[in-house]
Amino acid sequence: MAAEAQATAAGGLAGEMEVEAYRRLFPLAFLERHLRESVRPDARRPAEARPTTVALAAVSSAHGSALVRLGDTAMLASIKLEVMSPSGEAPDEGSIAVEFHMPPICSPLVRPGRPAEVAPVISKNLEDILMRDAKFEGALFDQWEGILVSIPVEIPLVSVGDDGRVFTVGGNEGKAKYELVNREKRKLTITNVPFSLTCALHKDNVLADPTAEEESIIETSVTIVLDSSDQIVSIQKPGGAVTSMTTIKECISLAKDRRRKLREILMDNVEAMEVDQTD
């Protein structure tokens, strides 16, 4: 009996090794074999996004912060606010600066001493969307002793683990606090939060929220950014095959469903945090 059990265990291990070897040698065939059964290698359905969690106030020294996990992708965002004189071009506005960092610990594709090439692109995309589409309740400036001072918002983001698109989460809604020169603390509430979803497109399949493995195999992807009222903020398609309008509409529909779920997750965490602070 013991010998039979050992033989069964050895056979199972050998089978697992064969599957993993096939996955590495023929990644596209491995993916397509799963898609024929309407399932992905990580057991998700094509339209299913990765499990998402949000932990607010992850950095005690920041004015606001959040640790977000989407599957094996983890992002740490913190908010830093300063008081300074406004620029001549925008005397009645504050500013937002986003800095995205990918240290070598987050992915084997990032080498020590060399910044990730995608980092400045993600920083610029996030900054443009926040400046253009995020609506703040109250301006990012204040009056003090007859002098107009602006509030620049610095948002450093650090990728803790990269396993797929990181350009997916909106803002730290309702929890970014700042201290003005009058020493009074007030909430800086974002009333219109952009959310996004990336879809990988392969033949007739639309894969929502792809992993890094799926991204490396599939050449075509579309990122849809929506605001809080489901209005399209931007559609990004960096190269790849020609995509039909029907497929784009399917991606938009998936992005709307994802926006509602992300907002629920975010608001649940905001409400829980407010209860904790009250207690």
Question: Where is the domain boundary, 127, 157, 192?
Answer: 192
Q: How far is CA 171 from the centre of its chain?
A: 10
Judge if pTM exceeds 0.85.
no
> How does DSSP classify residue 186?
E
Structural domains of the chain, count: 2
CATH code for position 271? 3.30.230.70
**Same domain assignment for residues 151 and 208:** no
* pLDDT above 50: residue 173: no
* pLDDT computed for residue 12 by the predictor: 53
Token digits of residue 208: 């929502």
Looking at the domain assignment, is residue 141 inside a domain? Answer: yes
**Same domain assignment for residues 219 and 152:** no
User: What are φ and ψ of residue 256, in 5° steps?
Assistant: -65, -45
Domain of 199 in residue numbering reads as 193-278
Task: For 266-278, write each residue's pLDDT tens digit.
Answer: 889 888 877 665 5
Contact 227, 210 (CB under 8 A): no
Task: For 27-52, write each residue's pLDDT tens digit.
Answer: 999 999 999 999 999 999 999 999 99
E strands along 193-231, which residues? 195-202, 205-208, 220-226
Token digits of residue 168: 């997916």
Sheet hosting strand 73-81, strand order edge to edge: 52-56, 64-70, 73-81, 152-161, 95-101
Looking at the domain assignment, is residue 27 inside a domain? Answer: no
Looking at the domain assignment, is residue 156 inside a domain? Answer: yes
**Same domain assignment for residues 225 and 251:** yes
Looking at the domain assignment, is residue 210 inside a domain? Answer: yes
- More confident of the two residues 261 and 97: 261
